[in-house]
Amino acid sequence: MKASELPLARTLELGRLRVHALEAGIQWLDGGAMFGVVPRPLWEKKIPPDERHRIPLALRCLLVETPNALVLVDSGVGNKEGEKFRDIYGIDNEGSPTRLEDAIRSVGFAPGDVDLVVGTHLHFDHGGGSTRLGEDGGIVPSFPNARYVFQKGELAFAQSPNERVRASYMSKNFLPLVEAGLVDTVDGPDELVEGISLLPTPGHTPFHQSVVLDGQGVKAVFLADLCPTSAHLPLPWIMGYDLEPLVTLETKRVLWERIQEEEWILIFQHDAREPWGRMALEDGKVLLNRID
Ligand SMILES: [Zn+2]
C-alpha cells in the first residue's frame, strides 16, 4: 500500500465545524506490536502483514475550521528523519516538504494559516511534523504562526523518557518549539476553542489525549492511539506499545459507553482503510458502521 493510494483530504461537515481528514502518509509497524496479546491468526485477517511482519498504517491528521480558529490536530512524521529510519518504519510521506502540507493546501489553506496545533501525544508519528528541516539545515517550526498545545504531563514525560519509550520521543520534535516560546500546556480536560475540547484518554501514554469535536447536535472524537484502527474497537484489542494497557482498557470501556449513548462519530488516525464511522453493536461485538 502506498500513500498515493489515499486521497489527500476528505471532508466532514459537522454543524459549525468543517473537519478535514488529512492523509499525511503511510507508515509500516510490526503487526504483533500493534495488536498486543491478540494472536496473529486473528489480527492478520483484519490487516494482512508484509514479509517483514509489518502492517500499513495511515498518518491521518485533522484540520478543523472553526468560527474562530484553524486548528491542526497532530502533524505526522515530518521530514527530519534519515533513510535508515524511514526504511525501518516504512515511512511514505514525501511532499512539499511533506504530504501533510500538500494536504493542507489541497483544502485551500497554507501552513502559515494554522492558528493552533494540538498534539494528542508526542510520539514521532504524531508530532514529528510540528518541526521541519529548514533550508539551512536547522530545525524550524512547520507552522510559523501557530501556538502549539500539549498536555503538561505529556510534555514532561517526553522530556525524561526511560529506556522503554526512548525510541518514540525525539526532542527535535518538540524542544525547538518550547525554546521558541511557542508552546502552551493544558492540564487535564480543556476547551481549546469553541467546538473543540481536549479529553484525556490515558493508557497508550500516561497523558495521552483524544480530541472531541462538537458540531452542535453532532459530536465526533479523534481517538488517536486510544484506538488506532477500527480493528482495535473490541475492548481487549490493545496495542503492545501501550505503557498502561489496563488503563487503556478502562479508558475505552468508559468512553465507548458515552460514544454509544450520544452516537458520536469516530475518527481513526492510523486506519488505512476507514477514516471514520459510527460504533455499532452486533451480538455483543463492537463494529464500525461506515458513513459517507
Ligand atoms: Zn503513539
Q: Which amino acid is at 192?
A: L
The pLDDT tens digits for 69-84 are 999 999 999 999 999 9
Q: Are 256 and 47 in contact (CB under 8 A)?
A: no
The pLDDT tens digits for 18-56 are 999 999 999 999 999 999 999 999 999 999 999 999 999
- Between strands 285-289 and 276-282, the pairing is antiparallel
Q: What angle do CA 208, 89, 209 make, to 5 degrees?
A: 10
Confidence of residue 146 (pLDDT cuts 50, 70, 90): very high
Whether 292 shows a pLDDT value over 80: the answer reads no
Confidence of residue 244 (pLDDT cuts 50, 70, 90): very high
Residue 5 CA to ligand 1 centre (angstroms): 23
H-type helices in the chain, by residue range?
A: 31-35, 40-46, 83-88, 99-106, 124-127, 152-159, 175-179, 245-262
Residue 234 CA to ligand 1 centre (angstroms): 19
Residue 30 CA to ligand 1 centre (angstroms): 14
- DSSP helix/strand/coil, 85: helix
Q: Which residues contact 74 (CB under 8 A, 6 or more apart)?
A: 61, 62, 118, 119, 120, 126, 127, 129, 224, 269
Q: Give Cα separations from 25 to 2, 28, 102, 113, 116 (angstroms).
A: 8, 10, 11, 21, 21
pLDDT reported for residue 79: 96
Q: How many CA atoms lie within 13 A of 41 on its CB side?
A: 0
- Residues of the chain above pLDDT 70, percent: 100
H or E element, residue 56: strand 54-65
Residue 257 CA to ligand 1 centre (angstroms): 23
pLDDT reported for residue 241: 96
Whether 217 shows a pLDDT value over 90: the answer reads no
Locus of grid cell 502492517: 55
Q: Give Cα separations from 119 to 7, 41, 168, 209 (angstroms).
A: 23, 34, 14, 8
Q: How far apart are CA 154 and CA 156, in angstroms?
A: 5
- DSSP helix/strand/coil, 262: helix
Confidence of residue 161 (pLDDT cuts 50, 70, 90): confident
Q: Are 90 and 26 in contact (CB under 8 A)?
A: yes
Whether 135 shows a pLDDT value over 90: the answer reads no
The pLDDT tens digits for 175-199 are 999 999 999 999 999 999 999 999 9
Residue 81 CA to ligand 1 centre (angstroms): 17
Residue 78 CA to ligand 1 centre (angstroms): 15
Residue 233 CA to ligand 1 centre (angstroms): 16
> Nearest-CA neighbor of 173 among 208, 207, 137, 128?
128
> The C-alpha cell of 65 is what?
475550521
H or E element, residue 90: none
Residue 217 CA to ligand 1 centre (angstroms): 30
